[in-house]
Chains A and B, each alone.
Chain A
């Protein structure tokens, strides 16, 4: 089955925010790894929900209550299908990836990890897949162990085999690095983890928006991702977990919506997935996420990945022509390029590019240990999504040349 090419111009037209000028230039948005823009279909799905169907879920006898419940639970089924989970019981709606990973750390890990145990992570983790494990290690006395990185910012499976052992209880790895663009071999790492009876947790924040994820094929135990990086609103995310694990986990938030029976001194929980969704859930967010999934499906996830891979290769090729640029990460990468210009701090680079209407991220990208590994305090990052074009990259390169000129001349 071939991959058809995508009509970027038609896609871009569906994003109202991209039709504006910033600082007198057409906006070139190259910060989708931080958050993606939203197509009109998603904006309208959320707005229609509030205009016509807004109601609380799972309790109203009235018509709006049923509509809202159907839409919210319909979104769950859509997510199940999106990642090929076995059942909607395995789909927990959360505030985002951070909340999802914290749920695993606070519930599963604190019950199942002891002082003799080890948790294996990598130095390329985003803080959200790092600090929760630091906290588990502190609370349980377990040891946090880092896999080494290869020089190009990839993980070698040999190192995984040498690091994961019978003490390992949890292996937690990003699907795609938000700084290096490395696509990690999560299926193979899962296999090694399982050989040692450890569970595999995948931070999919930079994975699910950009490629087809099949949690059954990967066979990971948990997979977390955020809606807002895949065309959906902020404030909605997903924790996928294997049903047998979720069944044995305690909720971490207690209150309305998640209970079965409440007595004076004791209560029981609803069944999966609701026992993990205390309080009024993120109804509009889930509906927006469902609309985003429809949008991405229509374009095709394989098509999106192929297009972004092509954009990344083009960006690498063009950016490498700039004198005095440092580019971090492997050659084969997801749609982002992290870089520095010699003698120009990334904040200054980002400010000059912003004056040209080009939005890039500058800073430590919530990955301070990785910045240390790269031996830099900060970097700039251009990240791409399905609405970016080769022209955007040409404008970025032109902007970087201007930045060099601006900081190189006149100030000596």
Chain B
């Protein structure tokens, strides 16, 4: 595999979210906070969700990790804002399928589809799913 094959992993849009993360920070008014880490590699995320009447009103994250984990958190928070909890969970399910290399409706995923290349790098799948796992835990605790 030559270096340019890495471009399937590190797509432009991913690097953009990594270098200019959306929704990074903390919520003033929050309904739930989830801390999650990836014990094998040290990536960690704190996700805050403001969920009202079954709708994700706002989401912010803080944390440290590689480009894939941080870009995924940025994209996830952007995507789920305004969604019903059920929709967000459904999207998370689709995201897991995408990581397994399964076919999904990529139009619904928007920017997130750029992370599809991660499925070809098994060692990095856990990086991509960290923020989603935190979101799932958050809405279940809520």
Contact = CB atoms under 8 A, between A and B. Distances in A.
Given A345-B65, A364-B42, A23 B1 contact: yes
Interface stretch (B5-13, B46-54, B99-107, B134-142): B5-13
A363 B1 contact: no
A334 interface: no
Interface residues of B, number: 26
Most-contacted residue by chain B among A363, A368, A377 (CB, 10 A): A377
B19 A363 contact: no
A363 B42 contact: yes
Q: Which of under 10, 10 to 19, 20 to 34, or 35 or more describes the interface residues of A? A: 20 to 34
Q: Which of A24, A348, A363, A412 has the most CB atoms of chain B within a 10 A radius of its CB? A: A348
Contacts of A356: 3
A362 B3 CA distance: 19
A368 B2 contact: no
A31 to B, nearest CB: 12
B124 A351 contact: yes
Contact of A411 (B16, B44, B121, B123): B16
B93 interface: no
A186 interface: no
Contact of A377 (B3, B10, B44): B44
Interface string B107-129: 00000000000000101100100
Interface in A56-106: none
B79 interface: no
Contact of A348 (B5, B12, B64, B67): B67
B66 interface: yes
B3 A371 contact: no
B124 A364 contact: no
Contacts of B40: 363
A352 interface: yes
Contacts of A345: 65-67
A132 to B, nearest CB: 18
B68 interface: yes
B15 interface: yes
Nearest to B70: A345
Contacts of B67: 345, 347-348
Given A347-B41, A351-B9, A412 B3 contact: no
Contacts of B5: 355
B43 to A, nearest CB: 8
B68 A347 contact: yes
B3 A363 contact: no
A400 B40 CA distance: 23
Contact of B3 (A348, A352, A364): A352
Contacts of A410: 12
A378 B6 contact: no
User: 6 shortest A-B CB distances, which residue pairs?
Assistant: A23-B1, A347-B66, A345-B66, A411-B15, A363-B41, A364-B42
Interface of A: 23-24, 345-348, 351-352, 354-356, 362-364, 368, 371, 377-378, 402, 406, 410-412
Interface of B: 1-3, 5-6, 9-10, 12, 15-16, 18-19, 40-44, 64-68, 121, 123-124, 127
Given A345-B67, A368-B42, 16 more contacts: A24-B1, A347-B41, A347-B43, A347-B65, A347-B66, A347-B67, A352-B3, A354-B123, A356-B3, A364-B41, A364-B42, A371-B42, A377-B65, A406-B6, A411-B12, A411-B18
